[in-house]
Amino acid sequence: MFEENIVRLFEKWSGEKATKVTPLALSGSDRKYYRIHSATNTVLGVYNHDTKENLAFVEFSKHFIKHGLNVPKIYAEDVTQDIYLIEDLGNTTLFAFLTQEKEKSDFTDELKQVYIKVLKELPKFQIEAGKGLNYSLCYPRASFDKQSMMWDLNYFKYYFLKLAQIPFDEQALEDDYQALTDYLLTSKQDYFLYRDFQSRNIMIKDNEVYFIDYQGGRKGALQYDIASLLYDAKAEIPQEIRQELLNFYINELKKYVDIDETEFRKQFNAYVLIRIMQAMGAYGFRGFYEKKAHFLASIPPALNNMDYVLSKLDLPIKLPTLIPVLHKLVKSDKLKAIGANRNKLVVSINSFSYKRNIPVDESGHGGGFVFDCRALHNPGRYDEYKQLTGKDLKVIEFLNKEADIKVFKENTTALVQQSVEKYLERGFDHLSVNFGCTGGQHRSVYMAEYMTKFLRNKYNIKVILRHREQEMKK
């Protein structure tokens, strides 16, 4: 029903008939996204049953746009139906770009420059755009106050510590929670806190960075968001780069506000602590409780982050129960083993021509998927597309208009996703996915490109893409 409502809203806004509606893959939230095409427009339609969250996102977006920040434009909304239309920023998240770049080297200079772009924008959200923002719309609370912090810490306690079977004295841990939150609240709390400022919520389009998913924002301290970005477990930023980026951010921050840099860095370490614990709570809930294997894959890098933070921790408060519990975490063989092999999963994606047979699985495992794209409408039949490939925009637009493509993508994605989840869960190290067509130039290339982007956006795995017939022409 909500998909029909979204289409009606789109057609009313655009004055055009929707020619194609494609559901996007679910992420960590319950929001449902649809890419909607018409003759001259492409937008994203969103359904979210949480009305207050919708209101926060829509109104924050309008406010940020007024301040010149790169966030999606709001085209239309119907709060009574819990739907709205936003600008389509494409498919490339910072996480997907990071994953792709790390196949070249540990942390490329190009990747570092993207992070620098992001850090130039962060103070604008926190300080400039934070002025005049209607904080009464913040949901579930107007500030990252003691109550919010305790929610996060208890999330960590019940969904990570207990499910990971780490022993602790509950009352003593609660006492340390009180001490930690009291210290965190000594930092100035008058800034916009984005709340989930991490690589999956940053988009890259036309070499510019854009920002999404700030509907959980509220008032809070400057340190939280930079901690979220730099200690994003799946990003696995090298420590020397992390320190360099923190220094850059602090220098940018000084252009906007006066800060005591020594005190800022001490408080930053405490905010890193609570952010990692909050993230671990999420990994525990999604991984241990909901049995979603790819969340468990984040546990080893999160433990590495925690280990590093503990080795450098210098706080003016005593946490006699929490700190030993955290040391137990990072030394836990059980936790280290969870997901230890999951980051080793490699998915090889190939496009090929059936004229030259199916690609050989070079991993030695055999098996994998072979999808026949020859039933799809072939752009190669038309002169204007003959010299192009499935990576060219004209071919992409041609295929996107085909109704069969939607069904084909949904079905192949569901099968591949199911296998990736199981392979992660069982610690397998290789999966091959092959797309074939007549010439290995249009349809198979298009599908291989699509599947590569989908997997890189969703999972912290290595995806190797090869267009066999294109390589032969070089």
Model pTM score: 0.79
Angle between helices 403-426 and 443-458 (to 10 degrees): 40
Within a 13 Å sphere around the CA of 215, how many CA atoms are in the beta-carbon half?
Answer: 15
What is the sign of the dihedral through the CA atoms of 161, 164, 165 and 166? negative
Q: If you average pLDDT over residues 22-30, what whole number do you get?
A: 74
Contact predicate 65/34, CB 8 Å: no
The answer for residues whose C-beta is within 8 angstroms of residue 131's C-beta and 6 or more apart is none
- pLDDT value at residue 294: 72
Domain boundaries, the chain: 2-87, 94-337, 342-473
- CATH (residue range 2-87): 3.30.200.20
- What is the pLDDT at residue 456? 85
Q: Tokens representing 269?
A: 């370490």
Helix (H, G, I), strand (E, B) or coil at 26: coil
Q: What is the pLDDT of residue 342?
A: 52
Over residues 344-371, the mean pLDDT reads 87
Catalogue the E-assigned strands of 397-456.
430-437
Q: What angle do CA 298, 295, 122 make, to 5 degrees?
A: 65
**Do residues 386 and 439 touch, judged by C-beta distance below 8 A?**
no
pLDDT in tens, 83-132: 999 999 998 899 989 987 877 778 899 999 999 999 999 999 999 998 89
The predicted pLDDT at position 164 comes to 87
| Rounded distance between C-alpha atoms, residue 463 and residue 432, angstroms | 10
How many CB atoms are closer than 10 A to CB 12?
11
E strand or H helix at 91: none
pLDDT category, 366, cuts 50, 70, 90? confident
User: Tens digit of pLDDT for each residue in 168-184?
Assistant: 999 999 999 999 999 99
According to the model, what pLDDT value does residue 234 have?
83
136-146 in b/e form (b: 16+ CB < 10 A) is ebbbeeebbbe
Report the distance separating Cα 262 and Cα 268, nearest Å: 10
Residue 69 Rama label (left phi>0; alpha psi -120 to 50; beta): beta
Does the pLDDT value for residue 416 go beyond 60?
yes
- b/e sequence 219-237, b meaning 16+ C-beta within 10 Å: bbbbbbbbbbbbbbbbbbb
* 260 pLDDT higher than 90: yes
Same CATH topology for 2-87 and 94-337: the answer is: no
Integer Cα distance of 307 and 243 in angstroms: 16
H or E stretch at 20? strand 20-23
**What's the start-to-end Cα distance of the chain, in Å?**
49
Task: Answer yes or no: are the C-beta atoms of 376 and 405 closer than 8 Å.
Answer: yes
Band of the pLDDT at 147, cuts 50, 70, 90? Answer: very high
Tell me whether strands 430-437 and 369-372 are parallel, antiparallel or unpaired.
parallel
Q: Which two tokens stand for residue 407?
A: 């069904």
Give the pLDDT confidence score for residue 163 in this predicted structure: 86
Q: Residue 313 and residue 323: Cα distance in Å, rounded?
A: 10
Give the right CATH number for 94-337 from 3.30.460.80, 3.90.1200.10, 3.40.50.10170, 3.40.1280.10: 3.90.1200.10
Q: What is the DSSP letter of 297?
A: T
Q: Which residues contact 241 (CB under 8 A, 6 or more apart)?
A: 107, 112
Model confidence at 474, pLDDT cuts 50, 70, 90, reads: low
Residues 369-393 have a mean pLDDT of: 95
Start-end of H helices in 185-260: 223-230, 239-253
> What pLDDT shows up at residue 339?
55
pLDDT of residue 365: 73
Query: Per this entry, what is the length of the chain?
Result: 474
Closest CA to 284 of 300, 302, 299, 305: 299
* Residue 361 binned pLDDT confidence (cut-offs 50, 70, 90): confident
What is the widest separation between alpha-carbon atoms in the chain? 74
**What is the enclosing helix (H) or strand (E) of 92?**
none
Tens-place pLDDT, residues 30-74? 799 999 999 999 999 999 999 999 999 999 999 999 999 999 999
**Closest among 95, 92, 87 to 35, alpha carbons compared:** 87
Helix then strand count (H, E) for the chain reads: 17, 13
Q: What is the DSSP letter of 367?
A: -
Report phi then psi at 220, rounded to 5.
180, -165
**Residue 350 pLDDT more than 70?**
yes
